[in-house]
Amino acid sequence: MYEFYLDNDWSDQDKLSSSNRRHSPALDSLMFTAPQTGFSLIELLVVIAIIGVLSAIALPSYQNSVMRSGRAEAKAELLQVASEEERFFSSNNTYSADATPLNTADGLVRTTQNALFTIAVAACGGGIATCFIATATAQNQQLGDDCDTLTITNTGVRGSTGDNPQECWQR
């Protein structure tokens, strides 16, 4: 038997006729081709589903952050207005009745830097000589915010529209 293996030429295996093969030539060509590359439809659908879930979570969070940044801009501007009103009061012993510290150089009403809020000052219960209330009112894309109006008085009392005024000033 050992001699059989020595005498048998293994390279003759490749020379067998197609009738001696165990499967058809068509199946042979499918089995020995290069592996196909790319993505299957299932893989693409899974990726699209993951992107959809992530965007459903991320988009509202992003919009909330944009609203909060606009609100922060309004709060900073209101604190600046209150500071200017106090400075006016220390020089004139009254608060500004005509919003003098609020007017810009061209005489227009004051808005925040990105024009998301307009700022107005009005007299409160005791008249403009004794107290004021500054109000920032949302405009443009900030109108969708729950806290669309922020206020501050001469005593520093903060308020807003919405369900929870303290939450509007804290966030």
Per-residue pLDDT of the chain (171 residues; tens, 9 = 90+): 455 544 555 555 555 554 555 656 665 555 666 667 777 889 899 999 999 999 998 988 888 888 888 888 888 888 888 888 888 888 888 887 655 556 555 555 777 888 888 888 887 776 677 788 888 888 888 887 778 888 888 888 888 887 777 777 776
Q: Is residue 144 part of a domain?
A: yes
Is the residue at 5 inside a domain?
no
In a domain, 1, yes or no: no
In this prediction the pTM is: 0.63
Instruction: Give backbone dihedrals phi and psi of 160, rounded to 5 degrees, phi first.
Output: -165, 165
Between CA 156 and CA 153 the distance in angstroms is 5
What pLDDT shows up at residue 33? 63
The single-letter code of the amino acid at 142 is: Q
In a domain, 23, yes or no: no
**Spatial separation of the C-alpha atoms in residues 43 and 58, rounded to whole Å:** 23
Q: Write out the residue range of the structural domain in which residue 151 sits.
A: 61-168
Query: What is residue 68's predicted lDDT score, i.e. its pLDDT?
Result: 83
145 domain-assigned:
yes
From the number of C-beta atoms within 10 Å of its C-beta (0-12, 13-18, 19+), residue 166 rates as: exposed
Query: Which pair of tokens denotes residue 67?
Result: 């609203």
User: Does residue 15 belong to any structural domain of this protein?
Assistant: no
Is residue 54 situated within a structural domain? no
First vs last Cα of the chain: how many Å apart? Answer: 90
In the chain, at which residue ranges do the beta strands (DSSP E only) sit? 117-123, 132-138, 149-153, 158-160
Q: What pLDDT does residue 24 have?
A: 62
Task: Examine residue 156 and state whether it is found in any structural domain, yes or no.
Answer: yes
**How far is residue 48 CA from its own chain's centroid?**
20
CA distance 150 to 167: 11
- In the chain, the number of structural domains is 1
